Chain A
């Protein structure tokens, strides 16, 4: 009999702590499927962030650390430099990576560290209750932009992959989304290429995943998915922004 669905062995038996309709679960699943498919699970160290996925080590069964807020790429650098045979990943949200941790991210990318970042962009600080983040859209209401994000007050959303793609250090930079099966399959392909970049020691790899936050967006799961398609993807377009030779 052909297996058409199973839980990846890299996923633990714990129920997740994520809200209904949150796409962290989908992101975890495709990461875990790839760990299974590449046989990397037992070589992997994941550096988890501060944010909703601080509990990520409950759900993906690898050696695990939790970095201080924003410091995941620095910590991952420390591991990878002394233990290059380990497969080292960071999993970070937009507050963690694009705000407080942007320096660590940019410099890990500039150095071409052989680490892989999965970057969950849901446009706000989910864990702390939905405050404005660097990727909050213009006009978006959050708990700290109650009148909507205004460019003259808060500047503009940060496009992390586009920015990193201008640099020479990264081997692979892409943005995917988790709002429909096609996009999920594409996102998985992107992360697989990011894994390849690290395995071949080609340099830094990052895949942003446009995600949902129904609780803080104050929407149903279905409305959240619709918002991604309608409002977020026009601002954060999908695709590969940098892929050096050898990444496939």
Chain B
């Protein structure tokens, strides 16, 4: 760890990715995350790495796909409408088993929506998004420091499982400025071209073919089972969450990202009034921390899920609670960020019920 710097989240993400060994960035401008590619565009050439502005998000993700097939650490960043355009590429990347990192600074939708912070792409990110039976690992930081830390983990997980990792943030986490301390630089001189990479056969005995295709159903089912086995390992080993003041909690709030951070203030306000609320904050949205929620269902009177959408993570919370306790919800739509007081007021409506 080095010195503490005051940085915007959108720039801290880029700096962290660079220190984590991102060798190539491909992207297309979109608000509210333009500071991220702009930062890459300055820093990558200084380090002799690749920055390329693509002609579209469709091209950008396919450039990432190409670079990923060479085993190079590659990244793109975008926001909701741009991420929608990339879904085809995500699906191909999934079934080709190549690693990459994608940051989605979510904004209000559907359609052109607005440029305000939102969390309405949870379904798209965690359930696949493109066609076919696949998942990406989805990570949701809630502070600038955590954004910086998790970028390192994102690249490591991507390489470990040869999978796409989505870092799911929002415009608020991108725009806020906070002190941040970066982990040590990854030594990119130690990077080696992996055995599976398509860079020309060279001295390898076999040529490498990286495709998401098998014309025969029997073959394609086998490819799917490879993916499903990988996802089972990820669900087993990579679940991350934070429990905040859950030890003595009578109630649990579930929230991720920006809203989880606001909910921490809600919890302080509630505890000042003698209401013991805790927070379960999924850090990996896929794999979802279902066991901790299931276990806490025996301790708390009810769950209160709050998001900047109309109840998307709510479905996963309900599946984990499995009817053992009530799960209530409060959401704001279209880019409205709830206040801590508002969340508490909504929460209190369910007390004594």
**Residues on A close to B: CB < 8 A?**
41-45, 47, 54-55, 57, 61-68, 71, 74-83, 85-87, 103-104, 107
Contact = CB atoms under 8 A, between A and B. Distances in A.
Given A71-B59, A104-B62, A77 B52 contact: yes
Interface string B282-322: 00000000000000000000000000000000000000000
Interface stretch (B106-114, B149-157, B199-207, B258-266): B199-207
A221 to B, nearest CB: 25
Given A79-B66, A79-B69, A82-B74, A42 B24 contact: no
B31 interface: no
A45 B198 contact: yes
A163 to B, nearest CB: 16
Contact of A57 (B55, B89, B92, B209): B209
25 contacts: A42-B200, A42-B202, A43-B202, A63-B201, A67-B62, A68-B88, A74-B62, A78-B66, A78-B67, A79-B66, A79-B67, A79-B69, A79-B198, A81-B50, A81-B67, A82-B23, A82-B67, A82-B70, A82-B72, A86-B70, A87-B200, A103-B56, A104-B59, A107-B54, A107-B59
Contacts, number: 121
B200 A63 contact: yes
Contacts of B54: 74, 107
B63 A81 contact: yes
A77 B66 contact: yes
Contacts of B72: 82-83
A41 B201 contact: yes
Interface residues of B, number: 39
A220 B63 CA distance: 40
A64 B65 CA distance: 13
A76 B66 contact: yes
B64 to A, nearest CB: 6
Nearest to A115: B66
Question: Chain A CB within 10 Å — which of B63, B92, B213 has the most?
Answer: B63
Nearest to A79: B66
A65 B211 contact: yes
B24 A81 contact: yes
A20 to B, nearest CB: 20
Contacts of A44: 200
Contacts of A87: 200
Contacts of B201: 41-42, 62-63
Contacts of B211: 57, 64-66
A83 B70 contact: yes
Contacts of A65: 66, 69, 96, 198, 209-211
Contact of A74 (B23, B63, B69, B74): B63
A247 B254 CA distance: 63
A45 B199 CA distance: 6
A72 B26 CA distance: 15
A45 B200 contact: yes
B228 interface: no
Interface in B205-230: 207-213, 215
Contact of B55 (A75, A76, A104): A104
Contact of B58 (A66, A74, A77, A78): A74
B40 to A, nearest CB: 13
Given A65-B210, A82-B70, 10 more contacts: A45-B199, A54-B213, A63-B198, A63-B207, A65-B211, A74-B60, A75-B62, A78-B26, A103-B55, A107-B55
A63 B62 contact: no
Lowest 6 CB-CB distances: which A-B pairs, in order? A78-B66, A74-B62, A78-B63, A75-B66, A107-B55, A78-B67
Contacts of A77: 52, 59, 63, 66
B161 to A, nearest CB: 20
Interface string B31-74: 00000000000000000001010111011101111111110101
A86 B198 CA distance: 9
A128 to B, nearest CB: 14
A78 B23 CA distance: 11
B62 A64 contact: no
Nearest to A61: B207
B271 to A, nearest CB: 51
Given A57-B211, A74-B59, A104-B62, A86 B50 contact: no
B55 A82 contact: no
A61 B207 CA distance: 7
